[in-house]
Amino acid sequence: VALRAPGGEGALTRAHPAEPLHFDSLDEVVAHVRAGGGRLSLPRRLILEALFVSDAPVAAEEIARRLELDPASVYRNLEKLEGLGIVRHVHLGHGPGLYSLVGRGAREYLVCERCDRVTAVAPERLDAVRGAIRDDFGFEARFGHFPIVGTCADCASA
Amino acid sequence: VALRAPGGEGALTRAHPAEPLHFDSLDEVVAHVRAGGGRLSLPRRLILEALFVSDAPVAAEEIARRLELDPASVYRNLEKLEGLGIVRHVHLGHGPGLYSLVGRGAREYLVCERCDRVTAVAPERLDAVRGAIRDDFGFEARFGHFPIVGTCADCASA
DNA sequence: TTTTTTGCAAAACCTTTGCAGTTGG
DNA sequence: CCAACTGCAAAGGTTTTGCAAAAAA
C-alpha cells in the first residue's frame, strides 16, 4: 500500500517512552519537566496544574481562556510537554485536539457516530482488542490518539 | 463518562445505510445521486469520476486543483455525497480529510506513528478485531473514519 | 420556472510562526 | 548572563458560509 499519513513529517509522532510515565503528584510532573531541560514559568505551572486537576481531556483554547493565557503560548507549552512525554492529545471528532497528562488515569476512547457519546475506558479494557490486532497484523495499537469509532450498543439496538 | 464528541452537532454522523452500498460503475453512482434528489452538474460528474478512478482517498483541495474547480464547491459536493451515503472521508493524521467512494474496494486503515506508514486493508481483515470490540463493549466498530494508530511490526522490532 | 448548484469572496476555526521583550535558572 | 519562555500580531492550513449568477430538471 503506497500511502503516507498526511500532515507533514511525523505529524502523529510523539515521545513514546518504553516505560509508561505515571505521575501521582504535580511535583513529580514538575521534576520531569526539569529533568527534560524545561523551565517552570508561571504559565507552564498553571497549565500543568489545570491538566493535573482535570479528569477529562481539555482543548488548548479552553485552557488559555480559563487561565487567561495566550493561546499561542498554551499550544507551545503543550507541544513541548508532549515532546517530553508528559502530555498527550486525542481527537474525538472534528473539533480541536484535547489534551491531558499521561499516566494519571490514562484513558482510551470509543465514540458512537450515531449519538456522539464518548466512552472512556482504562487501557486494560482494550487489551483483548489490542491482542487481536497484534495477532493479525503484528501491530501494537493505541486508542489514545484516535478513538474507536462506530455504533454503540444502545444505538445499534435502536 | 460525561463527554461528548466535539465538532458540533453530529460532527461524525453521516449516512449509515443498513445495506452497504456498492458501485460497480459510474452509472450506478449517478443513478444513486439522482435517486437521492441530487442533480448532476458538470463539476459533480467530474468529482464523482475522479473519486471513481482513484484507488487511494483524495483531499478536497487536491480534487479542486486537479479539476480546476472551486474548493468550496468541491467541499459542498463531498458533503452532499457523503449525506447520500455515496462518499466517505478518513483522517489519517493531522492533514486534510481524504475522500473516497464507498463500496468499491472499501478499505480500513492502520497508521504507524513511528514511520507514518499507512496500511489499507479490506474490512474483512478486521472482523476478528471488530468481534473482540463487539464482545467486550457491544460496540460495532468501523476503522474507515479514524484509523487504528500504533506501532507497526517493523518499527516494534526495531 | 423552480430549485439546486456554481464561483467568488469572505469568514470561521484550529494551529503555527516571527519577533521583541521578559524571565527562570 | 543566556537560553527558554512570554505576549502579541500575523499568517497558515482546512473548512464553512453568504450571495448573486448560472444551470439542471
Query: What confidence score (pLDDT) does residue A3 get?
Result: 55
Judge whether B1 and A120 are in contact, CB under 8 Å: yes
Query: What confidence score (pLDDT) does residue B8 get?
Result: 40
Is the pLDDT confidence value at B12 over 50? no
Query: What confidence score (pLDDT) does residue A30 get?
Result: 95
Whether B139 sits inside 8 A of A116 (CB atoms) is no
B143 to chain A: which residues are within 8 Å by CB?
Answer: 148-149
Query: What confidence score (pLDDT) does residue A38 get?
Result: 94
Q: What is the pTM of this model?
A: 0.90
Question: How confident is chain A (158 residues) per 10-residue block, as mean pLDDT?
Answer: 46 46 85 94 98 96 98 98 97 97 90 95 97 97 97 92
Query: What confidence score (pLDDT) does residue B135 get?
Result: 97
Contact between the CB of B61 and strand C at under 7 Å: no
Query: What confidence score (pLDDT) does residue A103 get?
Result: 82
H/E segment holding residue B137: helix B127-137
Judge whether B57 and B90 are in contact, CB under 8 Å: yes
- Closest C-alpha to A100, from A119, A116, A85, A121: A85
Query: What confidence score (pLDDT) does residue A8 get?
Result: 40
Query: What confidence score (pLDDT) does residue A25 get?
Result: 86
Average pLDDT over residues B7-25: 53
B58 contact A CB<8A: no
Average pLDDT over residues B46-69: 97
Q: Which has the higher per-residue pLDDT, A156 or B50? A: B50
Contact between the CB of B75 and strand D at under 7 Å: yes
Query: What confidence score (pLDDT) does residue A19 get?
Result: 53
Question: pLDDT tens digits, residue range B75-124?
Answer: 999 999 999 999 999 999 999 999 999 987 899 999 999 999 999 999 99
What pairing do the DSSP bridges indicate for beta strands A108-112 and A148-151?
parallel
| SS3 call for B14 | coil
Average pLDDT over residues B21-34: 89
**Counting Cβ atoms within 10 Å, is residue A82 exposed (0-12), middle (13-18) or buried (19+)?**
middle
Contact between the CB of B44 and strand C at under 7 Å: yes
Judge whether A94 and A113 are in contact, CB under 8 Å: no
Is the pLDDT confidence value at B129 over 60? yes
